[in-house]
Structure 1
Amino acid sequence: MKKNSIFALFALLIIASCGKKEEQQMPAPTAAPFPVQTVTLQDAVVYHEYTANLEGQQNVEIRPKVNGFIQKIYVDEGQVVRKGQILFKLETQTLNQDASAAKAMIQAAQVEVDRLKPLVDRKIISNVQLETAKAKLAQAKSAYGSIASNIGFGTIVSPVNGVIGSLPFREGSLVNSVSEMPLTTVSDTKIVRAYFSMNEKQLLFFNKTFKGGSTAEKLKSVPEVSLLLVDDSEYDQKGKVVTMNGLVNPTTGTTQFRAEFKNPEGILRSGSSGIIRMPILQKDVMLVPQNAVFEVQGKQMIFVVGEGNKVQSKIIVTNGSSDLNFIVTEGLSEGDVVVVEGASKLKNDTEIVPQQKKETNSTETAAPIAKDSLKINATPAKK
């Protein structure tokens, strides 16, 4: 028993001495390098986005002025037409018969005037009878002119240059001037109008941002806007905001704006949609890279380098983005040093080796990829 106890004690001493040697051989942990950036105030371009409805500069509904059957359709959907080009021909056989009858009434009235005139000259009858006959002649001519005009309305031409919309009626269909549905729509898309809306909060920000004593002066100071298409590509033509409704719609709480874009290649079509991107220059704001920000339980956080190069996480509040940076409104102060990469590898009180990263002014970077987080639906345009 004594030998076994001595042997066990000896083994424990050997293990303990080996552990001390291993502890002595393990190197002390060293601080790892992390890129950091000093927070400064700078100018930033922020893009506010608004959903927009696109319409041609002129969307003219083509409606018949007379009743009749469609005898011939001369165009097809999507066809480009010129002003004055024939679109439809309505059957006017009944009107032709009415015109013949009206023409006969003119001839009869003219005969009566011719018969009475020499009698009046010889004072056989009073002048009243002749004037009455002349009035009937004028009435007959007016009736004929009205019928002739209606016959002309049977040939329907395009009032503007543009593109033909849908054709809901076919040849042989009976149409009339009070039909709810038009024969077609001709859309002039050389200039495309984008209608979008701002809510009251956005409108207040707009009025404070762009100076001017009148609406026209404010619109002149608005920079050119971009149009984001449904495939997320940016339209290659810049647009200009040209009108703003003077009233807030009490039902929707929004005010409607209109921007116009040139459409030389016909890429934009009336009835489609897009997103208006309006650049807003904000001065003296704090920017931090989006890669530096992480979320914990729905709150945005960032690591700040403190005393002894130890990092501490801070909750921040952002308001939109500019380029690849968040605009920070709360949680940071000018001069703070933040970790811009590798936040997932850190925890509070971790010591690092700060490596200053060169700051980039947002207004000099590729700002078109930046966007504001706020989007609203456009109110349908009313002409």
Structure 2
Amino acid sequence: MRLLVLGGTAFLGRALAHAGLERGHDVTCVARGRSGAVAPGVTLVRADRDDPSAGLGGVESDDWDAVVDVARDPGQVRRAVAALAGRAGHWGLVSTGNVYADHSVPGADESTPLLAPRDVGGEDPDAYGGAKVACEQAVLEGLGAGRTLVARAGLIGGPGDTSGRTGWWPWRFAHPAAPGRVLAPDALGDPTQVLDARDLAAWMVRCAETGTTGVVDAVGPTTTIGRLLAASREAAGSDAQAVPADPAWLAEQGVGPWMGPRSLPLWLPVAEYGGFAARTGEAARALGLTHRPLVETLRDTLAWEETRPADQPRRTGLDDADERALLEAWASRRDPSSARGSR
């Protein structure tokens, strides 16, 4: 199969290209090449999709058994569809669960109403969901439902996750800021879902091979924050213990949820996001999406984290001094004599 990946040098795009190679396909990636190298054996065609006049580096003159696009910019997607719809047998679009207007219901499925489409590119997080709705519309209108797979991905993790969301917990258990203690939100029963990028990529390539189509939520198995912390501890081979702190207290200290600087990732304390990490995912599983064990994803992500330069700033989490101060403040709040004794 001739597989064209629009992207291919960063996290998920690279995983898609690698999955295509593993299954014996001829893989070409279109990318600027600024995010890194393509996997060995992949053909890189350099093109800047931000430039409406730049084209796709000549790949639009070839025929492709399948195209997979990871773009979030509706303009990029529309231009790709216009150039390649007549030359592609199958089209896979990596979309997102952010397309939904309501995230409050655990176990929700693809029938949830969508946001209004937004014709906005770039990295604006507030526009992300609506922009992906517009991307989906462009692909479905240009190729039709009979040639299209739209994968509304949940949290994607695994080796190469530069957001730090899935790498933080195994890394922190491997490198506690305070001996034997890791600060965590006291939200251990809250749901979370992690989809290994390698599992998503392998499934999308298999769907391209078989012509599998649909619009489905591609999410990881629903687990809890507590079980994810336990898996992270196992992945790290650590004897450190999680110290759960009241989420309201953490917010008062300026510690944020989900991701970003000075955060504790993956917890969502706001009620309207109660179902964001608990979508059913049944439709994608019915189409063959499978998952490796969570501890394997976390162990492999930790191994990748350990290769990162020590002086490279983390996009998510707490620095050591900050976490130690927070642990002491939380211990003092709960038991002043305990905090004095720890000094």
TM normalised by structure 2 equals 0.21
Which entry has the higher C-alpha Rg, 1 or 2? Answer: 1
Greater helix proportion: 2
Greater strand proportion: 1
